[in-house]
Amino acid sequence: MASHAERNAPFIFWCVKKIWGDQSSYQVNKPEDINKTPNNQSGMYIFYLDSGVHQYPIYVGITGRNFRQRFKEHHDNQTGVIYKCNNGEFPKNQPPVRLPLIALVVPIHYPMQSKLMESVFLEAFDFCLNTEENGNIRLIVDTDQQFKPEDSKHNFDITFGNVMKEIQDVYNRYDKRS
């Protein structure tokens, strides 16, 4: 399916870099790895599996708490992404060698920007483990050929434009009532 985040990974990572520049990534499978993540920043994050050749985004989230605290919750809670990966619940098509789970962290000082971009990504792409704004969980990672960023951009631009138009429409209705 064209909208799977895994197939659109090159665009997703390009988009993050275009908007926010180079950002840090951290392996997060173990508690000692999580302890290396920022404990003084919040914003948006993307969990992805890394084969060394391809990256497969599986979850996009935001946090008002610091990244370290949020990732510990994902590790300790049975519904958390890290917990599911570490306990063999995800992915069901895992190769014999378990792929490392990486978190790309995007510190954003304005929570509304984080929420807006999370919603746009979820509207544009089907992330395996997101349920809010994204439908059902998928337990199989789509490892089919990935699209070039320019091949994903057109559909993303339409989605992003539609979201911005909806926001503008709400603002226009608000502005007319004052």
- pLDDT tens for the chain, 178 residues long, are 469 999 999 999 999 999 999 999 999 999 999 999 999 999 999 999 999 999 999 999 999 999 999 999 999 999 999 999 999 999 999 766 789 999 999 999 999 999 999 999 999 999 999 998 888 999 999 999 999 999 999 999 999 999 999 999 999 999 986 5
Quick one: tokens of 136? Answer: 């059902």
Burial class (CB in 10 A: 0-12, 13-18, 19+), 178: exposed
E strands, 52-138, where?
A: 55-63, 101-107
Q: Is the pTM of this model over 0.85?
A: yes
What pairs with residue 26 in β-bridges? 103
Per-residue pLDDT at 118: 97
Neighbours of 116 (CB within 10 A): 18
CA distance 105 to 24: 6
Per-residue pLDDT at 176: 82
Per-residue pLDDT at 137: 94
Per-residue pLDDT at 6: 97
Domain ranges of the chain: 9-177
| Tokens 């997703």 -> residue | 12
